[in-house]
Structure 1
Amino acid sequence: MKRSSLLGLGAVAFIAIAPVIAQVPAAKNFFQSGVNAQNVQKQQQVNLQLDAEKQVVAQDQQGKQTKTWLALKGQAKVQPGDVLRYTITGENISDKQVKNLTINQPIPQGMEFVLKSASADDKSNSKVTYSIDGGRNFVENPTVQVTLPDGKVATKPAPANAYTHLRMKVSSVEAKSVVKGSYQVKVK
């Protein structure tokens, strides 16, 4: 795995969902830590906002299953099995282009990353990578070594519960513009 170095750390997140996640005991400590969306810029040129929505599954009159997203605000409750979508919005508040914006986002304790759910801003040439070692290394497709019944060791894709962080790298954010990325987690 390739090692990544951080240029500096400035947590500049506005969290509108802290009361929501406080209902999930395992995730409560994560949100109380005050670090929720991390901007690895040396100066605060990009404001970050993290929003959460809960997936609502219903059936229409024909019995077809529909999925919608409900914004989580106030004292909303989540339960094991609920799927949440986090959206990270980065707004360049400066008059200059910001290059190589890196946003690190930990997967909260008590939640499991939903594989293949991350999306990054297409117009800004963004890339998403993942960590399974607490945020030390990031790769596009994490793998783990597993011992097979015959004793041989094989490399397999990392399971969802192994993911600890995701990183969105945005090559450039134009002056006074906005970029977005999102990912989903399942409440354990």
Structure 2
Amino acid sequence: MKRFSIAGIGAFALVATVPFFTQIPGIANVWHSDSAVAQNVKTQGQIQLHLEAEKRLVSQDQQGKQIYTWQALKGQAVVQPGDVLRYTLIGENKSDRLVKNLTLNQPIPQRMSYVLKSANITNNGKIVYSIDGGRSFTENPTIKVTLPGGKVETRPAPASAYTHIRLQVPSVAAKTIIKATYQTQVR
């Protein structure tokens, strides 16, 4: 069975119209639960970002029922095909002002597939997805499939086609925390 280490996770944040980019240290080196600050220059609102990763562990109880737990990935974490990882993105408005139109783009790491319907977000956030490298986003990505005989059908995009998740929060009140999670599976 092939084994590999995850190289890195990027977090791209837009606050209002001000872009911010940070490279979060990857699991392959030393996983840090580092943070970054996204700042809206017009209102001086600040969002501090934390990205964490966990690996799903599967065990059985005495009756043979599967039990799922999550283990934080730190240090030289090694994952194998089939492993499921959960990413948690935490954003904290450290300022005393409202931050409007917070948009966070999270790429799906290479050699990973998004676990369909695993994303959720607090604070009335909206989740949209890209299957074209982050050029466009939609709530329900679709693909066109040509059937035998030449007929073309539109179908839901497979999990392996997802390239990015976009988290959109209309507003983040002062001194408030938002939290989003999503899962991927190692190919």
Letter in 2 for 1:57: V
Structure 1 consecutive aligned stretches of length 4 or more whose deviation exceeds 4 Å: 36-44
- Residues 112-138 of structure 1: CA deviation (Å, up to 9, x unaligned): 1111111111xx110000000111111
Report the equivalent of 1:106.
Answer: 107
Residues 114-172 of structure 1, C-alpha deviation per residue, up to 9 Å, x if partnerless?
Answer: 11111111xx1100000001111110000001101121000000011110000000111
Q: Is 2:45–2:96's contact at 8 Å kept on the other side of the alignment? A: no
- Indicate whether 1:174 and 2:163 are aligned: no
Q: Secondary structure of 1:78's match? A: coil
Partner of 2:56: 55
RMSD after superposition: 2.5
Which whole-Å CA distance do the structure 2 matches of 1:39 and 1:152 have between them?
Answer: 47
Task: Write the letter of the residue equivalent to 1:173.
Answer: V
Equivalent residue runs for 1:59-138 within 5 Å: 59-121=60-122, 124-138=123-137
* Cross-structure match for 2:46: 45
User: How much identity, in percent, do the aligned residues show?
Assistant: 58
Give the match for residue 158 of structure 1.
157
CA distance in 2, matches of 1:94, 1:38: 11
Higher strand share: 2
Which amino acid is 1:79 matched to?
Q
Question: Which one of 1, 9, 18 corresponds to residue 19 of structure 2?
Answer: 9
Q: Which amino acid is 1:59 matched to?
A: Q
SS at match of 2:21: coil
CA contact (8 A) 2:37 2:46 kept: no
Shift in Å at residue 41 of structure 1?
5.2
Q: Deviations over 1:59-98 (max 9, x none)?
A: 0111111111111112222111100000000010111011
What is the identity, as a one-letter code, of the residue corresponding to 2:166? R
How far apart, CA to CA, are the structure 1 residues paired with 2:167 and 2:174? 19
Q: Give the drift of 1:37.
A: 8.7
* Residue 12 to residue 184, structure 1, CA distance change in 2 (3 Å): same
Looking at structure 2, the residues matched to 159 and 167 of structure 1 have their Cα atoms a distance apart, in angstroms, of 17
For 1:11, what is the secondary structure of its paired residue?
A: strand
Contact 1:83 1:185 (C-alpha < 8 Å) held by counterparts: yes
Secondary structure in structure 2 of the residue aligned to 1:45: strand
What 5-or-longer segments of structure 2 have no aligned partner?
Answer: 1-15
Q: Aligned residues, how many? A: 167
Does the CA contact (< 8 Å) of 2:45 and 2:95 recur in 1?
no
Secondary structure in structure 1 of the residue aligned to 2:19: coil
Q: Distance in 1 between matches of 2:76 and 2:28?
A: 9
Q: 1:147 & 1:39 partners in 2: Cα distance?
A: 44
